[in-house]
Structure 1
């Protein structure tokens, strides 16, 4: 077994394993299989969705579970999937559409103003501490947009230099009780916006939480399989 093929096992990634809670996720995977069988969700795995099917973002309900990357692959019952907000109204989505559909400079978008305001207040939004940091970050996003448009698809994490574990670090998507995708509160919003703007037919995403009803109804397992054969 080559460490290059399994970076999660490489000694240099052990700290990263702990931060990503990989040991806990392995226990979760075993528990899911014991409860739901061979096709139960696996933490950090890739599923394949139509990006245009993502119309809403899942919000944390008061007293409800906080669902982030650490909860990837968790099967959750209850009404957590009913607390939602419109995805298209997010300032990052609006600003991406302004940039890539209308040709507006990043400095003229509401996102840029928002980030500059946070920096002025002493915050470091998206690891940015200055105007130049913001411009550099969004120049990188422009390259992602152009490469994705040219390629006609969004690369999976396994195809990228920073590959770590399954689809960890990809666009984070929860699955509701009816098997429909919900954007997580954080994780890959720019890439999802790009996929929607380019009207890509399918994208690989990192699984977030999965409603128990979707698993029991057999609505989750089909999402593992790419419909167009471009997944890793």
Structure 2
């Protein structure tokens, strides 16, 4: 995973503005595995292992974060109910809907799963769209809609491969 701070350091741009920006991949230093990421772990715990969001400590965790801390627990729980609905819908359909299918004004998977194309064509999660990515991973989907972030100079030749529907 490449976090927003690293995108900013390498490209000089916020990750939402760095879509398709070609960079010298040798400058990218901070790549982390997603397996240890709490959002991925709790999604697996819930959807794969059948534990409740409360049992996993997610509702309490969200109540203590800067982003969601002032939300009432009822609103936080509603967000996770929405994620459960998205999971069930994706499971039923066998695919993730594109962001445009969910919001017709959406352009190029903005606010969806962000991926960077590293050296040699390696796909690296960009730190946006955690829950959608977790749904895809738990359901073992072969293809996912994603927004391309940074692209390594030597990986331009791989873009057509990833653009196929």
8 Å CA contact 1:95, 1:111 repeated in 2: yes
Q: Gaps spanning 5+ residues in structure 1: where? A: 1-56, 227-232
Residue correspondences, number: 162
8 Å CA contact 2:136, 2:144 repeated in 1: yes
2:67 to 117, 124, 138: 124
Q: Deviations over 1:50-101 (max 9, x none)?
A: xxxxxxx114289544651221111111424442111011101110011101
Q: How does 1:8-157 map to 2 (within 5 A)?
A: 57-59=1-3, 60=6, 63-65=9-11, 68-118=15-65, 123-125=66-68, 129-157=71-99
Q: Gaps spanning 5+ residues in structure 2: where? A: none
Q: Give the structure-1-normalised TM-score.
A: 0.64
Q: CA deviation at 1:102?
A: 1.4
8 Å CA contact 1:171, 1:206 repeated in 2: yes
Q: Quickly say closer, same or farther: Cα 1:62–1:158, change in 2 above 3 A.
A: closer
Q: Deviations over 1:95-136 (max 9, x none)?
A: 001110111111121433321222xxxx333x8612112101
Within 1, Cα distance between the matches of 2:9 and 2:100? 36
Within 1, Cα distance between the matches of 2:91 and 2:26? 37
8 Å CA contact 1:81, 1:177 repeated in 2: no
Q: Quickly say closer, same or farther: Cα 1:67–1:112, change in 2 above 3 A.
A: same
Task: Say what the alpha-carbon RMSD is for the aligned residues.
Answer: 2.1
Q: Secondary structure at the match of 2:85?
A: helix
Q: Which has the larger radius of gyration?
A: 1
Within 2, Cα distance between the matches of 1:62 and 1:207? 15
Within 1, Cα distance between the matches of 2:24 and 2:51? 43
Q: Quickly say closer, same or farther: Cα 1:160–1:128, change in 2 above 3 A.
A: farther
Within 2, Cα distance between the matches of 1:62 and 1:167? 20
Within 2, Cα distance between the matches of 1:221 and 1:105? 40
Q: Give the structure-2-normalised TM-score.
A: 0.87
Within 2, Cα distance between the matches of 1:73 and 1:207? 6
Within 2, Cα distance between the matches of 1:131 and 1:173? 31
Q: Quickly say closer, same or farther: Cα 1:108–1:82, change in 2 above 3 A.
A: same
Q: Which residue of structure 2 aligns with residue 37 of structure 1?
A: none
Within 2, Cα distance between the matches of 1:169 and 1:62? 17
Q: Which residue of structure 2 aligns with residue 225 of structure 1?
A: 164
8 Å CA contact 2:7, 2:14 repeated in 1: no
Q: CA deviation at 1:169?
A: 2.3
